Amino acid sequence: MISSYIGIESGNRTNVIFLLLLAFLVSVMVGPVFSGRLPINDYRSLEPLRKVMTIIQKDYVDSQASDTRELVFGAIRGMLKTLDDPYTRFLDPETYREMKIETNGAFGGLGIVIGVRDGQLTIISPISGTPADRAGIRPGDRIVAVEGENLKDVSLQDAIKLLKGPEGTTISFQVAREGKRDPIPFTLTREVIKIQSVAHEMAPNKVGYLRISQFIETTASDVEKSLEQLVTAGAKAIVLDLRNNPGGLLEAAVRVSELFLSSGTVVSVQARDGRKVEYTSSGTRFPSLPMMVMVNRGSASASEIVAGALRDNGRAMLAGEKTYGKGCVQSVIPIDDEAAVAITTAWYFTPAGDCIHDRGILPDLTLLDDQVLAESTANEKEQISGQPGGLKDETGSGRRLNGPVGGAKAGTAAGAIADSADKDSAAHSIISRSDISLQRVLEMMNAHLLLSSSEKTGRRKFAEAPASNRDESR
């Protein structure tokens, strides 16, 4: 069986997006990889490999180090390394077993998605509610040392082995952070990470808030249930939060997009032969509910597919930061009952035809990272963002949320939303007053609903007015 997955960079783990220890399988068949026999010249080129293995097994001084299976695994690693592709790697039995378990949404670790970017082990995103998240780990942090060991020349998979461990054990490491001169030390206790893929809550003024932390097998059905509950409770608009979402299953991303799109292309995938396969939507569940989508630099792969699909189809505006930029698909191909290889087999493109790999997606409205804002003075905030509160119109495109929301101004709604969120905190509200970016987006959605309501009321009054009172001028 061949499966394809997309996930955040590891760096998803080799730029391979790994959720400390999480690789994302995607239940999408990509077609036979080996459609014929190797040419005879290719068989002959393997002869040196056979000879070297024979020499090692016959003459190498340490007979315990010449296990045939381990020699083959080593040769496979070497072959994949020559491709110079951070996402292509060998999955030994232990790693492959963990991958299959983790795809179900539970695994042991720190709760971080890591990858290699620019040759450095980089945090793609922390998972909400995990040790890494609680400790203040940020997207873009670079792990420079673990237990005092410098990671400069350590491979991604070796680094993962250093970071993982039994539940309840502690680990110390240091991260380099942009804007900080010295590395920042952390000591965390490992936990069993159980991912709640979807969470929702009704914000004031009938704005539904929906957060997706990762795309796993149950995500699409959970999103549909959450939307049904929000709409039943009277939601008039939706804020979809994809921040710090490292990606996951391609099928889940497509199905979530279909919930909001009545038609149109969701994503297209181009394989080695140049052919493109389009995933199109025929969904009819929530095609007209006004919405905004929140993204940041921790939004990658599958979450970028959803964001790109909704924006390119004119369904939603994007607010936040430029996304991570992972636009390739890996196929996980078993080589026996225990091990597999993950190789890059395709690129994906947004409905507008954009390849976002290493580029990311620019939002329509830039909302600076709350932690960055918290460390800046009020003057610095306005200088950086152009507006108080870190809000910046990035495109000037006038994109609409099925209505005129692009010009919404900051007012008092955010304060009301924040106060309400504080009151709900005892009940474990997922809408935080300290989340400045979210407060701004909720405020804009509220302004949009108020404006839409006023327009409808005006039209209704005009329609009901006596003919003699109507303005008949041309």
pLDDT digits (tens, 9 = 90+) for 238-275: 999 999 999 988 999 999 999 999 999 999 999 999 99
Catalytic residue among 164, 322, 326, 381: 326
Q: How many CA atoms lie within 13 A of 324 on its CB side?
A: 37
Beta strand spans in 151-275 (E):
170-176, 184-189, 191-194, 198-203, 207-212, 237-241, 265-271
Segment 49-59, tens digit of pLDDT: 989 999 998 99
Which residues share a beta bridge with 294? 241, 319
- Hunting for tokens 């680094």 — which residue is that? 159
Residue 64 per-residue DSSP state? G
Give the DSSP H/E element, type plus range, for residue 4.
strand 3-5
171 and 207 Cβ atoms separated by less than 8 Å: no
| Identified catalytic residue from 312, 369, 370, 435 | 312
Domains and CATH numbers, the chain: 3-34+45-193 (2.30.42.10), 198-452 (3.90.226.10)
3 is catalytic: no
Structure pTM?
Answer: 0.70
pLDDT in tens, 375-424: 554 444 444 444 434 444 444 444 444 433 333 333 333 343 334 444 44
Using DSSP's 3-state secondary structure scheme, residue 18 falls into: strand
**Rounded distance between C-alpha atoms, residue 384 and residue 317, angstroms:** 22
Residue-wise pLDDT tens digits, 350-371: 999 999 999 999 999 999 776 6
Average pLDDT over the chain, rounded to an integer: 78
Q: Say whether 236 is catalytic.
A: no
Two tokens, residue 46: 């393997």
For this structure, is 381 an active site residue? Answer: no
Q: Which of 3, 299, 301, 303 is catalytic?
A: 301
